Amino acid sequence: MSTAVMATSTKAASIAQESQRALDDEEIKAKIGELSQMAQDAAQAADQATLRAKAVNQLTSAMEAEPRVEAAKKAADDALANIEKAVQEAKIQQSTRPNSTSLTRVDYPWATGKTAEGSTIVHFRPVGRGHRVCVEAEEEGRLIRRLVAASEVQFDREYLKNGKNAAAGQNTWSINDRGDFLELLWVTFPQMKRKNIAARKMDAQVDCCVKFKTKGINILTVSSLRRVLGKDIANSNIAGVCTRDGFAPPWHTGPISIVYDPTAKIKDLKERQAMRDECAKANAATSGDLPLATAMASTNDSSGDVAGKDRISELEKRVNEVEKKLDNVPALLDEKFGKMTDTLMNFMTMVGDRLPPPHGM
């Protein structure tokens, strides 16, 4: 073989080897590209799987959290309701809580009586042709004293002869006893059966059990206690004891019934009786209880009784004044209920601000 042929053959072999290496490189590149694409696809699939897993986890967490959120809201509502209930119960307990003073029976230095039910009769006082007795009985864990008509209570009437007459000696109390005053033990439950709105303002009558340093325990009227302590101090003591025992002071106690009788202010007996007769006729005429002729004669009397007509005119004037006052009652009630509602809303807002945020929200 010639040298040229050998050189050509060697060159061809070299080219063949280079071609094979190039072919191998292309295949490797292709394989690498394929593997790279597979790796990218795998990465994308992994990312998508991760995203799907995250989405599933978030959805699962949301589904699991929803009941917890609702439970937290319900727990907050229940907590607020429980707080409101607790506040109301605390107010009730505070207003009805018996203390050592209201539960302690007083050792009275005079003879007491007993009712048929076993309650204590502390004292009595004459009223008109009858008597009132002070009955001491336990009510809802407290000792309450009430002034009731003797005719409404079953007890031995001998007590009215030998017992404590609270009306006696009331005019002897004065400012000179102020330094001897020790404490106000109790006040009778204030109650007014009937109030005449045509007459001057009257408070429910109550008796006060007062302890003095040297004069001991005594029963005083509100007027007597005011003479001893002064009106403001006496009223403050009475209001405090009434609050302790769970009822309003006498000047804030309403009557059981209301009447309008302008004749109560007339001092002269004959004049008072004459006006009562005229009022009765006028009321009967307006209500249709009299025949027409009699009614006309009653309302159009031409006998010249000027004084009677004047009294009827005064009666009509006072009736109109009462009607005006009654017309203002709804507005006054609306105002008071409005203030109560505002107070309640402010309280609810205060409670809501102090509530801790619900767990998990």
Lowest-pLDDT choice from 120-129, 180-189, 191-200: 191-200
| Average pLDDT in the chain | 74
Residues 229 and 327 occupy one common structural domain: no
Residues 109 and 244 occupy one common structural domain: yes
More confident residue, 107 or 202: 107
Q: Burial-class residue 210 by CB neighbours within 10 Å (0-12, 13-18, 19+).
A: buried
Residues 223 and 271 occupy one common structural domain: no
Evaluate whether residue 92 is within a structural domain: no
- The single-letter code of the amino acid at 58 is Q
More confident residue, 103 or 267: 267
Evaluate whether residue 68 is within a structural domain: no
Long-range contacts of 61-66 (CB under 8 A, 24+ apart): 65/360
Evaluate whether residue 249 is within a structural domain: yes
pLDDT digits (tens, 9 = 90+) for 18-43: 666 655 666 666 666 666 666 666 66
Residues 267 and 337 occupy one common structural domain: yes
Can you tell me the mean pLDDT for 48-58?
Answer: 63
Residues 229 and 185 occupy one common structural domain: yes
End position of a domain, from candidates 221, 254, 287: 254
Structure tokens, 358: 């619900």
Q: Where are the alpha helices (DSSP H) in the chain?
A: 3-96, 100-103, 159-162, 222-229, 231-244, 269-287, 292-299, 306-327, 329-354
Record the pTM: 0.48
Residues 297 and 183 occupy one common structural domain: no
Residues 191 and 216 occupy one common structural domain: yes
Evaluate whether residue 245 is within a structural domain: yes
Residues 245 and 276 occupy one common structural domain: no
158 has a pLDDT exceeding 80: yes
End position of a domain, from candidates 239, 254, 269: 254
Residues contacting residue 146 through CB under 8 Å, at least 6 positions apart: 134, 135, 137, 188, 189, 191
Would you place residue 321 in the very low, low, confident or very high pLDDT band (cuts 50, 70, 90)? confident
Which residues form the domain of 229?
Answer: 103-254
Lowest-pLDDT choice from 3-12, 144-153, 176-185, 352-361: 352-361
Evaluate whether residue 3 is within a structural domain: no
Residues 200 and 332 occupy one common structural domain: no
Evaluate whether residue 25 is within a structural domain: no
pLDDT digits (tens, 9 = 90+) for 247-303: 989 888 766 666 666 666 677 777 777 777 777 777 666 655 555 445 444 445 544
Lowest-pLDDT choice from 202-216, 219-233, 256-270: 256-270
pLDDT of residue 309: 59
Residues 286 and 219 occupy one common structural domain: no
More confident residue, 106 or 315: 106
Evaluate whether residue 19 is within a structural domain: no
pLDDT of residue 274: 78
Residues 338 and 203 occupy one common structural domain: no
173 has a pLDDT exceeding 80: yes
pLDDT of residue 296: 45
Residues 283 and 349 occupy one common structural domain: yes
Apex 131 CA angle, 126 and 136, nearest 5: 110
Say which residue the tokens 């991760």 belong to.
Answer: 50
Evaluate whether residue 224 is within a structural domain: yes
